[in-house]
Each structure stands twice: as C-alpha cells, then as structure tokens.
Amino acid sequence: MSGGPLIVQSDKTLLLEVDHPDALACRMAIAPFAELERSPEHVHTYRLTPLGLWNARAAGHDAEGVVDALLRYSRYPVPHALLVDVAETMDRYGRLQLVAHPTHGLVLRALDRLVLIEVAKSKKLAGMLGAKLDDDTVIVHPSERGRLKQALLKLGWPAEDLAGYVDGEAHPIELATEGTDGRPGWELRSYQREAVQSFWAGGSGVVVLPCGAGKTLVGAAAMAEAKATTLILVTNTVAGRQWKRELIARTSLTEEEIGEYSGERKEIRPVTIATYQVLTARRGGAFTHLDLFGARDWGLVIYDEVHLLPAPIFRFTADLQARRRLGLTATLVREDGREGDVFSLIGPKRYDAPWKDIEAQGWIAPADCTEVRVTLTEAERMAYAVAEPEERYRVAATARTKLPVVKALVERHSADQVLVIGGYIDQLHELGETLDAPIVQGSTTNKERERLFDAFRAGEISTLVISKVGNFSIDLPEAAVAIQVSGTFGSRQEEAQRLGRVLRPKADRRQAHFYTVVSRDTIDTEYAAHRQRFLAEQGYAYTIVDADDVLGPSLPSVD
C-alpha cells in the first residue's frame, strides 16, 4: 500500500487528504482532469467527469497519464472497472475533429468512420451537418459550430476543435505595471498569471476565482495577451464603470478607447463594455442590440459573472465560437443547473483555486462567518405559524426581532465599514431608520449609487444598507463587515457573492466578518443551511451563536 493522499471512490469522486505531505503534488497531478467539488478543511473532494476528462485530453493529457496519477497517489487499490472507464471515456474524445478545410471552410472530419455514421444518424444533429465531402468528412456551416459542439458533447463524442480562432481587429493593449498617476508599480499575482496562461493555452474557457481575488485583472491581462478589440459583458452599469476605471488604471488603454454600451450610453469603441440587461432588452419581441456582437471584429469576448449569464446570451454565444471567450466567476454554481452550457459554449473551466488557498496567500481577507439565530417573539411565531406557505420565508426573514441584533452587531463593529444586506425593501427601510444609514436599492439612480459608494469608500459613511443590487460587482474594498438579514431563498451563489463583498484585502490585513441573521426554528434556518453549503465546502466554517450572545446580558426589547 502506497499510503498516498488520495482515496478513489467508486462513484468517481476523489478524496484528497489536505494534511498529507504529498497533497500538493497530488493536487497538481489531478487538477488537469478532475473537477474540484468541495474544499473543506481536511479532505477536498474532486470529481472525475467525462467533461473533465475530455478537457484534459484537449489540453494534451492522455489516459495513461491519468491512470498513472490515480495509481501513484492512491492510498488504496483502485478498482479495475474505474480505470477502464477512464480510459474508455478519454478515448471518445477527438474521434471527430472540427477543422478548417482549405476550400470548403469548416468541416467535421472523422478519424473513426463509424462514429461519424452514428452521430450523423442522430436526431439531435439534424440540420447541423451539410454535404458529405467523402466518407470521413462533412461540411459544417460556421454558424453551427457552437451548437454542433454542444450536441456532440451531449452525444458523448466530443469533437476536437482544431479550426482555430479569428484574431479579430488588432488593437494595442499593454498592462501598465509601472503604475500611472502616482500609483505604485504592481504585477500580476501568481495565480492570476497562471489563470491567464491556462486560459490562453486553451483558447476559451472559464476562470473561477473568489470575489476580491482580482478577476478584473485576469480580464485585463487576457486583453493584453490578445491585443485585439474586446467586448466585455457585465451585469450592470456600475460594474461596467468599475471595469472601465480599473482598465484605465491598469492598462495602456485610455478613456477614449473604452466605450460604454448601456441603457444610458451607446458607445462602440475598441474596447466596449456592455451590460447583460441592454443586450437582452427587447422591443417588439426582437432583441434590438444584438448588432453589437457584429459591430466590430472582436478578438476577445469577456463575460463577467458568467454564472449569471442570461439564457438569450447563451444563444448568441453559440454563434461566436470562432472568437476567443473568457468567462469570469467566483462561483460556478448556477441555481438553474446550466453549468454544462457554460462549459460547452464559453469553454471549460480553465482555472480554479480553493478560496482558502488564496486566503492563505494573503490575496483575500480572512473571513469569519457567523450565523446568529434569533428567537422570534411569541407574536412573531404565531404570525409565522399561520402564514401562507409562499409567505413563510418573508415572514421569518423580515422578523422585527432581527433589528436589535443587527444594531448590536453594527455597534460592535463601530470602527469598521459595515454593509447590511437584505432582500426585502420594507425591511431595508426599517434597518435604514434603525441604523440611521443610507439605502441603495434597485430604484436608486446610478448617479446616486456612485455617490453613496464613493462616500462609503472614502469612509464618510460607515454603514450602508444595500439590497440585492449589491450582490455583484461592486468594489467596496474597505467594507470589512457584512450583515445579511435576508436573501433570495436558498441561493448558494448569492451567499458567496455577499461574502465576497468583504473579502477584498484590507489595508491593515484586518479580519473580515460575515454575519447572517436568521430566525430560529423557521424555514429561514433551513435556507440559511442551504445557502452556506457552497462556502462550507470552500472551507468557511460557520460559527452559530444565539442572539443573546450578541446582545449581551439584556434581552432584546421588542415592541
């Protein structure tokens, strides 16, 4: 018995014991083909999926290497059947190839004729394949490239895409590492560099990094690598402006080269930042802004917060297969379960790092997660007990009993910048009154939002109450404490995003705090447990305390 750090399970999960001396080497060996699923403190779980194995094949790893890595690091004998399965799965990749034919354009070429015959018969491919050139080659219309790849993946015969990418319209972009406007010099962090490299080597794909770990810089570095016109898709206007600020500061791009394509402005420049919202806006049932995709010969398309990519954009993306695509996200957990579409249309996961590792390297602030359970008053319990099922979460989440607890927490961290995050507007207004703090919500204008955020960054406001709009892409580096009072039911990625608000490293390496206030013995507790799952799997251990511990000796006084 080798006594290695890895245990291979028969359901194709791999358990990696983190404290083992060989754990690091083992992780390097299995990372190319196994998906990191959970990374709690002691044992990380990876999973072998067909997709992961095919991506490994695409990246040049062969079945021998995979089997060898499993055998070398496995503590226990690896079942023969699993090894056979790995080899067979990997063998399916690349029997079909998408190549650029000198005269006929894009063609699907088979190295195994029977596979081509099998897939050509499939109903799923109906209409995607054109005329047969010979027994092994079929013409494919370039517009079907994405859909065909997606369909072949579903059939279990993934095609190797050798047709390459268009370079797009060249545009000089450099990283400005010397520092401009009096800023100090800087350089890419090691994991950012690795992420860009593996993205560039793979051509297209998704980079998964925790909030606050500098995903924008990965995007900027990818643009510097591409040196071509770039389309950046972001969730909202504020996030777009942050991108713009960051790009001006960190690259050679100037204000004039970067356009904003949003509800307010419609600029198309060498680098254009567009919101998902404006792209999916419809007038008379037609998407009116789709021309943007063809407005320039884009060399790179960047999807920020790719886990939020709306369904229509998926469809447009299928047509963009010849362009390089970079997806950025902190949590590839889609509540709609469409992770597979992200992988097949934007590209496979190219880089992923456990949050705790990056925290250990000091790139994100260490965070302390606490769940505070408040006991509802008799009246509130009664109201909850008789609430309609669809109203129960709202009743439990917006209990007034939470207010004094939130107040106590804010007072405890009076020296820090505190964000109070909630999902229900009424509750936010109550909180705003109780805490005497400004509120940012959906109806707040962009201008007002920017003003409040700037004031918060500058420290003029120490407490800010924000609604769901604050879930994503707002850069508030000095926020050190987040208090969550209610959310979108059991959304795991929302929880992760909210934690991300406080993970930007602080100037003095302070500890960040993340509180979530829930009502005991209600559906609120259950949703909280579900929401915490992703972070718990990333190694964030929640401490659960009672409201009385927060409030101190005196009991909450509720009217």
Residues in contact with another protein by the rule CB under 8 A = 1, 7-11, 13, 15, 17, 38, 40-43, 45, 71, 74-83, 521, 533, 536-537, 539-544
Helices (H), 361-488: 378-385, 392-397, 402-412, 425-435, 446-458
Decide whether 76 or 382 has the Cβ nearer to another protein.
76
Question: Which helix (DSSP H) or strand (DSSP E) does residue 444 occupy?
Answer: none
- At closest approach, how far in Å is the CB of 117 from another protein? 24
At a CB cut-off of 8 Å and minimum separation 6, what does 336 contact? Answer: none
Decide whether 271 or 535 has the Cβ nearer to another protein.
535
Decide whether 188 or 528 has the Cβ nearer to another protein.
528
Decide whether 15 or 175 has the Cβ nearer to another protein.
15
- At closest approach, how far in Å is the CB of 374 from another protein? 14
For 14-38, letters b (16+ CB in 10 Å) and e give: bbbbbebebbeebbebbbbbbbbeb
- At closest approach, how far in Å is the CB of 45 from another protein? 8
Residue pair 241/248 in contact (Cβ under 8 Å)? The answer is no
Q: What's the gap between Cα 369 and its chain centre?
A: 20
- At closest approach, how far in Å is the CB of 10 from another protein? 4
- At closest approach, how far in Å is the CB of 497 from another protein? 19
DSSP labels for 221-244?
HHHHHH-B-EEEEESSHHHHHHHH
Decide whether 424 or 515 has the Cβ nearer to another protein.
515
Decide whether 91 or 194 has the Cβ nearer to another protein.
91
Give the C-alpha separation, 387 to 123, whole Å.
49
Q: Sign (positive/negative) of CA torsion 8, 14, 15, 20?
A: positive
Quote the Cα angle for 491-314-258, to 5°.
95
- At closest approach, how far in Å is the CB of 22 from another protein? 14
Q: What's the gap between Cα 457 and its chain centre?
A: 24
CA distances from 459 to 296, 415, 483, 499, 519 (A): 41, 11, 18, 20, 31
- At closest approach, how far in Å is the CB of 337 from another protein? 19
- At closest approach, how far in Å is the CB of 115 from another protein? 22
Give the C-alpha separation, 508 to 479, whole Å.
12
Give the C-alpha separation, 284 to 263, whole Å.
17
Decide whether 16 or 410 has the Cβ nearer to another protein.
16
Give the C-alpha separation, 331 to 493, whole Å.
6
Decide whether 2 or 288 has the Cβ nearer to another protein.
2
- At closest approach, how far in Å is the CB of 289 from another protein? 42
Decide whether 47 or 457 has the Cβ nearer to another protein.
47
